[in-house]
Amino acid sequence: MSKPSFVRRAALLFGFAFLYAPIALLALYSFNASRLVTVWGGFSTRWYVSLFENEQLIASAWMSLRVAFVSALLATVVGTCAAIALTRFGRFRGRLAFSSMIYAPLVMPEVITGLSLLLLFVALDIPRGFWTVVVAHATLGMCFVAVVVHARLITLDRSLEEAAMDLGATPGRALLSVTLPLAAPSILAGYGLAFILSIDDLVIASFTSGPGSTTLPMRIYSQVRLGVTPEINAISTILIAMVALVLVAGLALGLTGRGRRA
Amino acid sequence: MSRAPLIVFENVTKRYGAVTAVDDVSFEIGAGEFFALLGPSGCGKTTLMRLIAGFETPDSGRILIDGQDMAHMPPHARPVNMMFQSYALFPHMNVARNIGFGLVQAGLPKVMIEARVRELLRLVQLDGLGARRPDQLSGGQRQRVALARALARKPRLVLLDEPLAALDRKLREETQFELMRLQRELGTAFMLVTHDQDEAMVMAERIGVMQAGRIVQAGSPRAIYEEPATRFVAGFIGEANFFEGVIERVEGGRCFVRLNGSGALAQALFVGAPSASVTLVVRPERMLLELMHDESAANLTGVVLDSAYRGDREVAQVRLADGSMVRVARFAAEAAMLPERGAQVRLSFAPEAAWVLPA
């Protein structure tokens, strides 16, 4: 590769600036002493302090974390099962339909997913609350988990599982002691992805939540409509930091997983 | 076979869609025997092995191990262990845990597992490497771990799927003798699956030659080389020259065969019906070759096309007058060298050197 030219560097810089300047600005203004969001009034952490005194915001953040934790767990279990079925059970009837259907929610507009789930919950007469949001998020998350785990499983040597069975392990034991440990990095990465998706989601949650189950993005959105306070900046900054942390962890796991395969 | 059969195949057939991978195969492997399944790729030998291990189920026929029908026996319950071609070592476990995996599944106490693993590490000469991970080992060491793992449960039969394919030539030869020593010491039956005839000849007591889903011949390496059942076997095990002809007459336990093409009269120790068409199989090292002085006396004559010195032996290709090719080999230790390229030569073979197959 030749040394990057000035134009290329500028293009790269511009690209990243486009992506991250708003975020950086948001994080910067969360440390603004001024009450006015757009006027810099010196460095201060007062909004973080007042944030922790805002019970509504804290409650919805806690709700979001609980929803994300449980729904990601659910998504990981179901998504991993789907990935195993897709890779391991050969060409069962309807395999192609099954494998395309599992990817469908990835490209489906969230509004439609949310609306359809709302209609389902109404039709089944299920009161909307914590668990409906969990189920809705798990539905979306499991597709991502399935995709990530499936990608790992197809690279695994089938004879590893056969060797385990040959050595006296029942199919279940072979799965637990060989396949799942080898797929663990991708399963964890899938969990991280599902967790982030749940934390981020506004649209599906709006459709499927009920009174008392307002998630953080919903709370932020409704507060912003009444006017942006630097508190929102603070909570957003925390959210971004958390998402970045999970992403980096997932990336690191993915890298070690790849290294081990060699 | 004097030993009681350990594995019995009774008319076993396995199809994949329109392809018949294993076609009505019946054979036996004796307890403690070193058996090699030899054949070109795609002949069904891997499928046959997977049938024994239980990864495939036959469409028809029966497989018995120790007299017990394996029809509904899952792989994990069979007294058979396999060494995979890729070795299939568990990358997330160290060497000791790989070797001990089968023992853990058997539910042995920890102390016994540790003792057995140490014993196996010593057996395959990997003492002290128990804590290494598979990716920290050389190819030869990995092969040994795979072998130790397959031996750990003291199976009745060890299946070896192309065990030496991934090793370089020198290591392969060493490992061949190593495997034979282990097999003798342990007294466990080994079934080797390979496409390499040298490997099968060196290691096995008995070889089954497979072609297109069938075992076309099973016997000792000597029997298979000296008395091949078909032209395919003769051509697959070592090199062979084929002479087609018609039996003219039979006299005193030998037949006189008029060869097609050259019209030469050859003899073979064989009693067949006169005027029957036959193929004579003659190994290159049993071809006799002399420089031609008296043209009228010889009727299997030809020109040396190529000759090559290969250290332990010399080989030459001779084109006969009728255009067919004959390979001649001679041990280098024998005094006379093969004639050079372009020399006119006369070929012949002794009656006992020719093996007769129906044409």
DSSP 8-state assignment for residue A3: P
A-chain residues near B81 (CB < 8 A): 166-167
Angle at B242 between CA B241 and CA B243, to 5 degrees: 125
Angle between helices A55-88 and A216-225 (to 10 degrees): 130
H or E segment to which residue B274 belongs: none
Which residue carries 């060298």 as its tokens?
Answer: B337
As a whole number of angstroms, the longest Cα–Cα distance in chain B is 83
- The pLDDT, as a whole number, for residue B261 is 81
- According to DSSP, the residues that pair with B308 across neighbouring strands are B315
Q: Structurally, what CATH architecture does the domain formed by B241-358 represent? A: Beta Barrel (2.40)
For residue A230, the domain's CATH number is 1.10.3720.10
A10 domain residue, yes or no = no
> B132 in the Ramachandran plot: left (φ > 0), alpha (ψ -120 to 50) or beta?
beta
**Residue A261's pLDDT band (boundaries 50, 70, 90)?**
very low
Residue ranges covered by each domain of chain B = 5-236, 241-358
- The pLDDT, as a whole number, for residue B76 is 93
Mean pLDDT, to the nearest integer, of A91-120? 83
What's the gap in Å between the CA of A194 and the closest CA on chain B?
Answer: 26
3-state secondary structure at position A214: coil
B-chain residues near A262 (CB < 8 A): 135
Number of domains in chain A: 1
A3 domain residue, yes or no = no
Q: How many helices (H) and strands (E) does chain B have?
A: 8, 20
Asked if residue B230 lies in contact with residue B247, where contact means CB atoms within 8 angstroms, the answer is no
DSSP 8-state assignment for residue B347: E
CB contact (8 A) between residue A165 and residue B152: no
Q: Is the pLDDT of residue A3 over 70?
A: no
User: CA-to-CA distance for B334 and B313, rounded, in angstroms?
Assistant: 9
Q: List chain B pLDDT tens, one digit each, 359 residues.
A: 445 789 999 999 999 988 999 999 999 999 999 999 999 988 999 999 999 999 999 999 999 999 899 988 999 999 999 999 999 999 999 999 999 999 999 999 999 999 999 999 999 989 889 999 999 999 889 999 999 999 999 999 999 999 888 888 888 888 899 899 999 989 999 999 999 998 999 999 999 999 999 999 999 999 999 999 999 999 999 889 999 999 998 988 888 898 888 888 888 888 888 889 999 999 998 888 877 665 544 468 888 888 888 888 888 899 988 888 999 988 876 656 678 888 888 888 888 889 999 87
Mean pLDDT, to the nearest integer, of A179-204? 91
Interface residue ranges in chain A relative to chain B, Cβ cutoff 8 Å: 157, 159-160, 162-171, 173, 177-178, 181-182, 260-262
In chain B, whose CA is at the least distance from the CA of A167? Answer: B102
ipTM of the prediction: 0.82
| Contact residues, B window 288-307, toward A, CB-based 8 Å cutoff | none
- The pLDDT, as a whole number, for residue B195 is 92
Q: Which CATH class is domain B5-236?
A: alpha beta
Listed range (A176-190, A231-245, B179-193) with the worst mean pLDDT: A231-245
Which residue carries 């030899």 as its tokens?
Answer: B38
Maximum average pLDDT range among A4-13, A236-245, B154-163: B154-163
Asked if residue A136 lies in contact with residue A117, where contact means CB atoms within 8 angstroms, the answer is yes
Residue (of B128, B147, B354, B129) closest to B255 by Cα position: B354
What's the domain range around A200?
44-261
Instruction: Output the average pLDDT for chain A.
Output: 86
A-chain residues near B88 (CB < 8 A): 157, 159-160, 162-163
Q: Is the pLDDT of residue A90 over 70?
A: no
A232 domain residue, yes or no = yes
What's the gap in Å between the CA of A168 and the closest CA on chain B?
Answer: 4
A84 domain residue, yes or no = yes
CB contact (8 A) between residue B76 and residue A262: no
Residues in chain B: 359
Mutate to test the interface with A, among B16, B76, B85 (most CBs of A within 10 A): B76
CB contact (8 A) between residue A162 and residue B88: yes
User: CA-to-CA distance for A62 and B132, rounded, in angstroms?
Assistant: 45
Long-range contacts made by residues A253-261, C-beta under 8 angstroms, separation at least 24? A253/A185, A253/A188, A253/A189, A253/A192, A254/A185, A254/A186, A254/A189, A256/A185, A257/A152, A257/A184, A257/A185, A257/A186, A257/A189, A260/A185, A260/B91, A260/B92, A260/B135, A261/A155, A261/B91
CB contact (8 A) between residue B88 and residue A159: yes
B-chain residues near A160 (CB < 8 A): 88, 90
- The pLDDT, as a whole number, for residue A254 is 64
Q: Which amino acid is at B123?
A: L
User: CA-to-CA distance for A135 and A173, rounded, in angstroms?
Assistant: 29
Residue (of B137, B146, B12) closest to B89 by Cα position: B146
